[in-house]
């Protein structure tokens, strides 16, 4: 072991800590500008979290500009519609045509797969299995990072003009910059699971089954979201108290799946809490996005819930803004970046805030609200189109 040994420092224009989809886009953009960038990723191999993400048109255009056309089918699946059911009855049936008046075509993506495609394409150094230990400072200014090779313990100092924290909701970069972010819990916990999209379900169409026994069991629904390549991701939102008794939860999940044959097919072999991935979303918004020499993007600055499909889109928009400001002196860059991105990101965070409030209503109210809202949208799809349009543009800089 070489733990504690430190190699000679290297200097970069951008040191990107964490490298989610936003960091991967940033690495591509600044690399194309001829700037020297490095992405530091703690995981030794590609990350494979089970989660879906919606890419709205502005984000999809950014990825199309960066990735070869022949790989688009690997990262973007155009959604054809949304269906919702309860007790064998269809509550909602929105075809692809509902998106056209809003001039929106949402794409479904696996954000980790999209990130890997972007990292392979980037004209930047990609260093995996590297953990950032601390920020290096000269007075109030951040000038680099101290990192460690996870495999052999060797430490190294890297110097950079701009340190970018894309290291998630528990961001080390944010904490070491002294920036506070009080993340609030979502009203629900969410289980996720991966599966092959079955032939019994219409392709490229989101499927949602409301659980008739949701008030008693705390198991609200199961949603199935199609992904590129014939894959799918399931989401199971539950009340936190539903997991106090795993045996009772497993029984409720099995009974619910048995009542809907396509659902049983998607959930095959995953009818217990122990076989599912549990996520407890949090949301919040940092009051500022950095300090001299360091900036934050994505969840490091503004974690959000799945509501409105904002997360990846916010991160990519952050990356585009940073790349466009890359030629500015660091203090000017931070000021302009915050001025440009904070209002847009606040709109996106407010979606999580509103949905959390709605789902925090008494269980009987939420129980009635969900089917009522589905039927109301089904009767007036144009109104849904306006909502989709808002989701598709909330994260965008106004006037950009």
Residue 353 φ then ψ, to 5°:
-60, -45
Tokens of 264: 């049983």
Instruction: Give the three-state DSSP class for 302.
Output: coil
Cα 390 to Cα 123, 247, 383, distances in angstroms: 34, 41, 11
Residue 88 φ then ψ, to 5°:
85, -5
| pLDDT above 70: residue 394 | yes
Q: Looking at the DSSP assignment, which residues form a beta bridge with residue 94? A: 82
**Mean per-residue pLDDT for 104-122?**
94
**Percentage with pLDDT > 70 across the chain:** 97
pLDDT band (50, 70, 90) for residue 3: very low
- pLDDT of 208: 95
Taking Cα atoms as reference points, which of 185, 199, 256, 184 lies closest to residue 223? 256
**Mean per-residue pLDDT for 90-118?**
89
Tokens of 315: 């991160």
Residue-wise pLDDT tens digits, 35-58: 999 999 998 877 777 788 999 999
Domains in the chain, please, with CATH?
Answer: 6-59+109-184+284-354 (3.50.50.60), 189-279 (3.30.9)
What is the Cα–Cα distance from 313 to 21, expressed in whole angstroms? 9
What is the Cα–Cα distance from 203 to 264, expressed in whole angstroms? 17
Of how many residues is the chain composed? 400
Instruction: Give the three-state DSSP class for 206.
Output: strand
| pLDDT above 50: residue 156 | yes
Compare 400 and 213 and report the one with higher pLDDT: 213
What is the Cα–Cα distance from 250 to 271, expressed in whole angstroms? 6
Tokens of 2: 């070489």
**Mean per-residue pLDDT for 306-311?**
94
Taking Cα atoms as reference points, which of 25, 32, 71, 76 lies closest to residue 53? 76
Angle between helices 57-66 and 111-121 (to 10 degrees): 30
| pLDDT above 70: residue 253 | yes
């Amino acid at each position: 072991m070489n733990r504690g040994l430190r190699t000679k420092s290297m200097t970069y224009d951008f040191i990107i800590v964490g490298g989610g989809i936003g960091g991967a886009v940033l690495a591509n953009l600044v690399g194309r500008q001829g700037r020297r960038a490095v992405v530091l990723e703690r995981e030794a191999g590609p990350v494979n979290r089970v989660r879906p993400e919606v890419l709205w048109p502005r984000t999809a255009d950014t990825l199309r500009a960066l990735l070869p056309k022949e790989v688009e089918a690997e990262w973007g699946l155009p959604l054809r519609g949304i269906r919702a059911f309860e007790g064998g009855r269809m509550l909602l049936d929105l075809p692809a045509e509902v998106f056209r008046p809003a001039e929106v075509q949402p794409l479904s993506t696996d954000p980790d797969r999209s990130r890997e495609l972007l990292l392979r394409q980037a004209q930047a150094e990609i260093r995996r299995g590297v953990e950032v230990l601390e920020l290096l400072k000269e007075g109030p200014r951040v000038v680099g990072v101290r990192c460690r090779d996870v495999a052999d313990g060797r430490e190294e100092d890297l110097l950079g003009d701009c340190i970018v924290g894309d290291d998630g909701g528990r961001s080390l970069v944010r904490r070491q910059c002294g920036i506070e972010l009080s993340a609030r819990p979502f009203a629900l916990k969410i289980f996720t699971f991966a599966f092959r999209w079955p032939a019994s379900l219409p392709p490229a169409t989101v499927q949602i089954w409301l659980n008739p026994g949701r008030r008693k069991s705390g198991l609200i629904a199961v949603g199935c979201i199609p992904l590129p390549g014939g894959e799918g991701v399931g989401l199971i939102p539950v009340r936190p108290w539903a997991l106090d008794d795993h045996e009772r939860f497993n029984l409720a999940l099995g009974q619910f799946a048995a009542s809907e044959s396509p659902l049983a097919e998607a959930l095959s072999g995953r009818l217990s809490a122990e076989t599912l991935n549990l996520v407890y979303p949090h949301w919040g918004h940092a009051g500022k996005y950095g300090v001299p020499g360091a900036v934050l993007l994505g969840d490091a600055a503004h974690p959000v819930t799945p509501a409105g499909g904002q997360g990846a889109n916010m991160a990519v928009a952050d990356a585009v803004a940073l790349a466009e400001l890359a030629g500015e002196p660091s203090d000017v860059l931070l000021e302009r970046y915050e001025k440009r991105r904070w209002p847009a990101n606040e709109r996106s965070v407010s979606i999580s805030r509103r949905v959390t409030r709605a789902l925090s209503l008494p269980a009987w109210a939420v129980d009635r609200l969900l089917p009522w809202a589905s039927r109301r949208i089904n009767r007036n799809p144009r109104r849904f189109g306006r909502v989709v349009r808002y989701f598709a543009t909330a994260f965008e800089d106004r006037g950009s």
